[in-house]
């Protein structure tokens, strides 16, 4: 075992006294200890050597006490002791202290486990109770339907008996004629009452039939993003299973049922081999304007660019945290990403490298949106919005006014107005011509998660229709706003849980909304009511229309993607 001599220890103490400014004490020790006669080369001794030596000794004692403890698990974290304990107590006493600490730690952990188990049991009981209630409702409904059928059968039977009796009892021609007249009247009133027909008819018209629904299976975790290609029948989806997928949705395949045909899907793996690694979650995706490239953002901080045949073309690495949002500019030469690392980066796609990093926010960047090919807006948990331009080192505009995290920013179709929404339960409209917001939209009662502009008004394919802003909130409503006057046009109240996504149809006549209540509602904006609805098997994170406006895709928490045929 290595040991230290008294001469070496004296020298370390001598150096410590010198470095600490105790000149007289150092001289006395040097004189009495004969430091000047020792053979130690002072140039080899680093400053603070005695302190380092003592610290290492304490750490050694601590490790010895832990590793010698026969009851300790090797993978347990060291229970670090106080320096005074290490100096004043021997190894056996230290081991006893550690035993007590670990015993208490295990007790605390057991209590936490019991609490978790109790919570899980309560959740299971609640789920069972809800399931029983649902079953009871279904049984009650079935019983009611059976009773109605029985009542109809009884009425029909009595009617027939009445006719038979009249035919038997009446022999003369006039009576027979009367009986026939009654027979015709009874036949006329047979079947369901008009109200029953009306209710059934409305229900069938509103609920999208299963024959118009295609369920895409293959993801093994929740699907949080989906987007149609702007040019063809390709649908992209991104999931927590570390993959994105490109589905080919042709007219021939759009039929009822579950589809996981490997011929119609490309799997874009974000990690090699099989793994449950959550850092590769696909959080966001976007097609370029030509529909030739798909960009995906991941929890590992990397953006990836893929071809339509599933080939990984480029991996873009510079962010130091998860990517929450990414967007192509219209020209397709720049890709913009926003990250948890508080920055936004513009990437030169052709050069396959970063063009500029924008470090203005003091919190994670939650959303980005291009204004034109070179300028864009960013929003953050720091309540701020910045408008930035490629080549400029400072924001060209700063918008302050929100009192909570700014979840989403969107430029209107002409790039003249910017809409934002926040956890402060407000949406706001901003203009580049003024510093303060132009309109403060306050009608929601809970956080607003997302906003969308209608594809209507000047600069769109529907120039004769009014420009409208839609906001979706955790208060279960979608609200439509007149952006010229900042007034509420209508409140769409059809969901029972937070609404995570809204999307306008390409012609601006319909709005699709998706909620955690598992429902997709399709609203007629002219009538202000639901015209179609579909209920899936999980919360809905995103809805989107294809360019023709005849299909709606939605991604669900139960690992599926649904494609709905929309025909009015």
User: What secondary structure, in 3-state letters, does 415-461 show?
Assistant: CCEEEEEECCCCEEEEECCCCCCCEEECCCCCCEEEEEECCCCCCCC
Q: Please, what sign has the CA dihedral across residues 345, 349, 350, 353?
A: positive
Overall pTM surpassing 0.75 (yes/no): no
Give the whole-angstrom CA distance, residue 390 versus residue 440.
Answer: 29
Instruction: Please report whether residue 533 resides in a domain.
Output: no
Give the whole-angstrom CA distance, residue 262 versus residue 428.
Answer: 45
Give the whole-angstrom CA distance, residue 90 versus residue 61.
Answer: 9
CA-atom Rg of the chain in angstroms: 36
Concatenating the DSSP letter of every residue in 450-517 gives: EEEE-S-STTSS-TTSPPEEEEEETTS-EEEEETTTTEEEEEE---SS-EEEEEE-TTSSEEEEEETT
Mean pLDDT by 10 residues, the chain (568 residues): 76 87 84 83 83 76 61 45 56 74 82 84 72 57 58 66 62 42 40 32 66 94 96 94 94 56 81 62 96 96 96 96 96 97 97 97 97 98 97 97 97 96 98 95 97 94 94 97 96 96 97 97 94 95 96 96 92
Q: Give 286's strand partners.
A: 295
Instruction: Please report whether residue 131 resides in a domain.
Output: no
Instruction: Please report whether residue 200 resides in a domain.
Output: yes
Enclosing H/E stretch for 87: helix 83-88
Instruction: Please report whether residue 201 resides in a domain.
Output: yes
Instruction: Please report whether residue 202 resides in a domain.
Output: yes
Confirm if 336 and 375 have CB atoms less than 8 A apart.
no
Scanning 91-172, the segments in alpha helix (DSSP H) are 91-169
Q: How many helices (H) and strands (E) does the chain have?
A: 7, 33
Give the whole-angstrom CA distance, residue 248 versus residue 228.
Answer: 10
Instruction: Please report whether residue 140 resides in a domain.
Output: no
204: left (phi over 0), alpha (psi -120 to 50) or beta: alpha
Give the whole-angstrom CA distance, residue 184 versus residue 176.
Answer: 12
Instruction: Please report whether residue 440 resides in a domain.
Output: no
Residue of 333, 261, 265, 264 whose CA lies nearest to 295 = 333
For residue 34 the two structure tokens come to 């004969």
Number of compact structural domains in the chain: 1
Residue of 460, 483, 470 whose CA lies nearest to 523 = 470
Instruction: Please report whether residue 414 resides in a domain.
Output: no
Which residue range forms the structural domain that includes residue 186? 149-206
């Amino acid at each position: 075992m290595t040991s230290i001599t008294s001469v070496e220890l004296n020298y370390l103490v001598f150096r410590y006294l010198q470095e600490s400014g105790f000149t007289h004490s150092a001289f006395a020790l040097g004189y009495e200890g004969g430091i000047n006669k020792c053979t130690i080369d002072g140039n080899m001794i680093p400053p603070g050597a005695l302190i380092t030596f003592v610290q290492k000794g304490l750490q050694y004692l601590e490790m010895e006490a832990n590793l010698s403890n026969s009851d300790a698990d090797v993978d347990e974290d060291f229970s670090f002791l106080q320096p005074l304990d290490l100096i004043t107590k021997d190894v056996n006493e230290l081991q006893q202290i550690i035993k007590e600490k670990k015993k208490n730690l295990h007790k605390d952990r057991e209590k936490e486990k019991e609490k978790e188990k109790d919570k899980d049991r309560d959740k299971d009981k609640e789920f069972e109770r809800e399931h029983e209630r649902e079953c009871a409702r279904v049984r009650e409904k079935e019983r009611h339907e059976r009773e109605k059928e029985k009542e109809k059968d009884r009425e029909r039977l009595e009617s027939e008996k009445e006719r038979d009796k009249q035919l038997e009892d009446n022999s003369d021609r006039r009576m027979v004629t009367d009986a026939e007249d009654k027979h015709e009247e009874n036949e006329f009133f047979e079947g369901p009452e008009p109200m029953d027909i009306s209710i059934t008819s409305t229900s069938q018209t509103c609920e999208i039939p299963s024959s118009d629904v295609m369920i895409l299976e293959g993801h093994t975790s929740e699907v949080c993003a989906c987007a149609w290609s702007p040019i063809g029948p390709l649908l992209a989806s991104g999931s927590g299973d570390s993959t994105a997928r490109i589905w080919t949705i042709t007219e021939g395949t759009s039929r009822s049922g579950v589809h996981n045909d490997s011929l119609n899907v490309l799997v874009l793996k974000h990690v090699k081999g099989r793994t449950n690694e959550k850092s590769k979650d696909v959080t966001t995706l976007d097609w370029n304007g030509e529909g030739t490239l798909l960009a995906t953002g991941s929890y590992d901080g990397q953006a990836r660019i893929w071809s339509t045949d599933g080939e990984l073309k480029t991996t873009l690495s510079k962010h130091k945290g998860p990517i929450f949002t990414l967007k192509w500019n219209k020209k397709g030469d720049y890709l913009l990403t926003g990250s948890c690392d508080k920055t936004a980066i513009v990437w030169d796609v052709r050069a396959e490298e970063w063009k500029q990093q924008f470090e203005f926010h003091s919190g994670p960047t939650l959303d980005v949106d291009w204004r034109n090919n070179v300028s864009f807006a960013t929003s953050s948990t720091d309540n701020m919005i910045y408008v930035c331009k490629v080549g400029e080192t400072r924001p060209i505009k700063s918008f302050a006014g929100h009192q909570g995290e700014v979840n989403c920013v969107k430029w209107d179709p002409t790039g003249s107005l910017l809409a934002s929404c926040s956890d402060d339960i407000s949406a706001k409209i901003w203009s580049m011509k003024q510093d303060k917001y132009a309109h403060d939209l306050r009608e929601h009662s809970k956080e607003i998660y997302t906003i969308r502009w209608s594809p209507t008004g000047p600069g769109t394919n529907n120039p004769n229709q009014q420009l409208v802003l839609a906001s979706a909130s955790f208060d279960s409503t979608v609200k439509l706003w007149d952006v010229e006057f900042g007034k509420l046009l209508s409140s769409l109240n059809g969901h029972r849980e937070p609404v995570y996504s809204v999307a306008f149809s390409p012609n601006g006549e319909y709005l699709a909304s998706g909620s955690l209540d598992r429902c997709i509602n399709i609203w007629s904006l002219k009538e202000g009511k639901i015209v179609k609805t579909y209920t899936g098997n999980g919360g809905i994170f995103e809805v989107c229309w294809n360019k023709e406006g005849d299909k709606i895709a939605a991604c669900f928490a139960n690992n599926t993607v649904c494609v709905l045929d929309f025909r009015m």
